[in-house]
């Protein structure tokens, strides 16, 4: 018989408490009096799960409400569409040697493996020669260095910081650094925010899917799915109330992990209203656009290796990145982002797939329309409880990340990828911000007691 440890007992106790609280409107009754939770966590993405694990380990009574029918937020793995793991959102596990999620992966039994080094470039219908790749990479390094140098002198857009003599490689460099790396055009990205982002040159993948890893780490937590939070009353000095579509929850604190675009859209009504300082910060950190166009291509008609990353020497913004044969499968993903990606996604999934097939045909010469089996395109801008991809600050907007770290009356805390100054736009950054928020909640609760 498996020995019941103290940690397991605390986790089970917290789960029972929170599940009871959500089983009916309001909170659990004890001796005729309302029993209050220590914290309500809004959102079961990486930040919410990280915060919940931290609070459960500390023996706190919590509830987690999630608007979507699954955990993960913007990190979700689907296995039904193609019959293989398909990460509809985040896929890259950046800097796995220090990434908190990657470190926890060893406890899940899932397979984490290193991403292949390097990338390839398509020039017309051929691959770039070694000398051409060296020229491209040197140009990329020079552009990256120019942005960092500009950030030391003040803030401006990354586009303004680029050298004027990038020549024919400029569109490819702009796509890699902007839409592909930051989900936004370089003209809309702060050079300071870009410069402060941590290096993400070493990556790994989860064979079962990054979303599957996040879901495994959420196992046993008291998550109530398909339960959107609709309001937060934080006027009282003694606690807060969170309104959901399934009733109300009373708690000492709340951790809000929804995206900045959800805050901007005011899908959660704050009473009193969300301070203008926080709303302005969320507006400056609104989400960019990044989507996958996934194609099932049997027999590897493009002749690419597993998990191979390929770019195009483009002449403008109408381009994408190829992530081929994901995890050794026949699944090929075309990633689009920035203004072009947003406009394409707004036209619908059919147009997105049509673009991908035409674009690949022009690059490889194969008639993929007769080869492709199943297809799918994400449209994160249209996901009602997300409304975008991930955040990048505009010129002058980088300090807004620290503003969003400020709690409301030491009772409402914010977490998520946007609430991280160096790991914004990453699952690891969201996870760290959730742990920070949970630690702040514990400090507050301990101080009150």
User: Is position 167 within any domain?
Assistant: yes
Euclidean distance between the first and final Cα of the chain, in Å?
Answer: 37
**Model pTM?**
0.92
3-state secondary structure (DSSP) of residue 93: strand
- On the CB side of 402, CA atoms within 13 Å amount to 4
Q: What is the pLDDT of residues 354-369, one digit of tens each?
A: 999 999 999 999 889 8
User: Is position 210 within any domain?
Assistant: no
CATH number at residue 144: 3.90.660.10
292 with 256, same domain: the answer is no
308 with 371, same domain: the answer is yes
Q: Report pLDDT for 31.
A: 42
User: Is position 321 within any domain?
Assistant: yes
57 with 186, same domain: the answer is no
Using CA atoms, how far apart are residues 427 and 24, in angstroms rounded to an integer? Answer: 32
Q: pLDDT-based confidence at 35, cuts 50/70/90? A: low
Q: What is the pLDDT of residues 96-137, one digit of tens each?
A: 999 999 999 988 999 999 999 989 999 999 999 999 999 999
Secondary-structure percent of the chain, ordered helix, strand, coil, rounded to 5 = 40, 20, 40
Q: Report pLDDT for 448.
A: 56
326 with 192, same domain: the answer is yes
The total domain count for the chain is 2
303 with 268, same domain: the answer is no
362 with 426, same domain: the answer is no
Using CA atoms, how far apart are residues 290 and 287, in angstroms rounded to an integer? Answer: 9
Q: What is the pLDDT of residues 128-177, one digit of tens each?
A: 999 999 999 999 999 999 999 999 999 999 999 999 999 999 999 999 99
- Token pair in block for residue 341: 């990606």
- Token pair in block for residue 378: 């994400």
Chosen domain end from 382, 415, 434: 382
Enclosing domain of residue 193: 116-201+288-382
Helix or strand holding residue 143 (H, E): helix 130-153
CATH number at residue 243: 3.50.50.60
- Token pair in block for residue 437: 């928020």
Q: What is the pLDDT of residues 232-273, one digit of tens each?
A: 999 987 889 999 999 999 999 999 999 999 999 999 999 999
Q: Report pLDDT for 253.
A: 97
192 with 294, same domain: the answer is yes
Chosen domain end from 382, 414, 431: 382
User: Is position 207 within any domain?
Assistant: no
Using CA atoms, how far apart are residues 330 and 360, in angstroms rounded to an integer? Answer: 15
- Token pair in block for residue 429: 């950054």
Cβ proximity of 11 and 220 under 8 Å: yes
135 with 184, same domain: the answer is yes
138 with 281, same domain: the answer is no
User: Is position 170 within any domain?
Assistant: yes
DSSP classification of residue 184: S
User: Is position 129 within any domain?
Assistant: yes
Using CA atoms, how far apart are residues 162 and 156, in angstroms rounded to an integer? Answer: 11
309 with 335, same domain: the answer is yes
Q: pLDDT-based confidence at 28, cuts 50/70/90? A: very low
Using CA atoms, how far apart are residues 268 and 247, in angstroms rounded to an integer? Answer: 14
Using CA atoms, how far apart are residues 435 and 53, in angstroms rounded to an integer? Answer: 8
User: Is position 46 within any domain?
Assistant: yes
Cβ proximity of 332 and 323 under 8 Å: yes
User: Is position 147 within any domain?
Assistant: yes
């Amino acid at each position: 018989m498996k020995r019941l440890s103290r940690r397991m007992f605390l986790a089970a106790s917290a789960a029972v408490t929170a599940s009871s609280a959500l089983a009916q409107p309001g909170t659990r009754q004890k001796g005729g009096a309302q029993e209050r939770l220590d914290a309500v966590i809004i959102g079961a993405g990486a930040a919410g799960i990280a915060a919940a694990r931290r609070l459960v380990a500390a023996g706190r009574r919590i509830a987690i409400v999630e608007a979507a029918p699954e955990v993960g937020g913007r990190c979700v793995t689907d296995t039904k569409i193609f019959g293989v793991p398909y990460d509809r959102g985040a896929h890259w596990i950046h800097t796995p040697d220090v990434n908190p999620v990657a470190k926890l992966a060893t406890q899940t039994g899932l397979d984490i493996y290193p991403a292949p080094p390097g990338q390839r470039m398509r020039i017309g219908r051929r691959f770039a020669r070694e000398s051409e790749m060296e020229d491209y990479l040197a140009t990329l390094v020079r552009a990256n260095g120019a942005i960092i140098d500009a950030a030391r002198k003040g803030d401006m857009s990354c586009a303004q910081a680029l050298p004027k003599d990038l020549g024919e490689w400029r569109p490819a460099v702009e796509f890699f650094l902007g839409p592909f790396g930051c989900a936004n055009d370089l003209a809309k990205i702060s050079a300071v925010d870009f410069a402060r982002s941590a290096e993400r040159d070493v990556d790994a993948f989860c064979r079962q899917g990054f979303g599957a890893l996040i879901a495994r780490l959420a196992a046993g937590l008291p998550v109530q799915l398909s339960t959107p939070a609709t309001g937060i009353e934080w006027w009282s000095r003694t606690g807060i109330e969170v309104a959901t579509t399934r009733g109300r929850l009373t708690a000492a604190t709340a951790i809000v992990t929804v995206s900045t675009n959800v805050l901007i859209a005011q899908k959660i009504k704050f009473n009193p209203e969300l301070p203008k300082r926080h709303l302005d910060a969320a507006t400056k950190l609104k989400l960019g656009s990044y989507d996958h166009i996934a194609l099932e291509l049997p027999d590897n008609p493009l002749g690419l290796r597993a998990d191979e990353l390929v770019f195009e020497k483009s002449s403008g913004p109408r381009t994408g990145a190829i992530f081929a044969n994901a995890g050794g499968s026949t699944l090929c993903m075309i990633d689009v982002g920035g203004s072009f990606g947003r406009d394409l996604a707004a036209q619908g999934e059919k147009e997105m797939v049509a673009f991908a097939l035409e674009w690949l045909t022009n690059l490889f010469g194969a008639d993929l329309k007769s080869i492709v089996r199943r297809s799918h395109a994400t449209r994160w801008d249209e996901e009602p409880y997300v409304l975008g991809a991930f955040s990048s600050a505009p010129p002058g907007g980088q300090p807004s990340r620290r503003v969003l770290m400020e709690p409301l009356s030491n009772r409402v805390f914010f977490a998520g990828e946007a609430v991280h100054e160096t790991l914004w736009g990453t699952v690891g950054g969201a996870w760290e911000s959730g742990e920070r928020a949970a630690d702040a909640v514990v400090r507050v609760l301990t101080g009150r007691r």
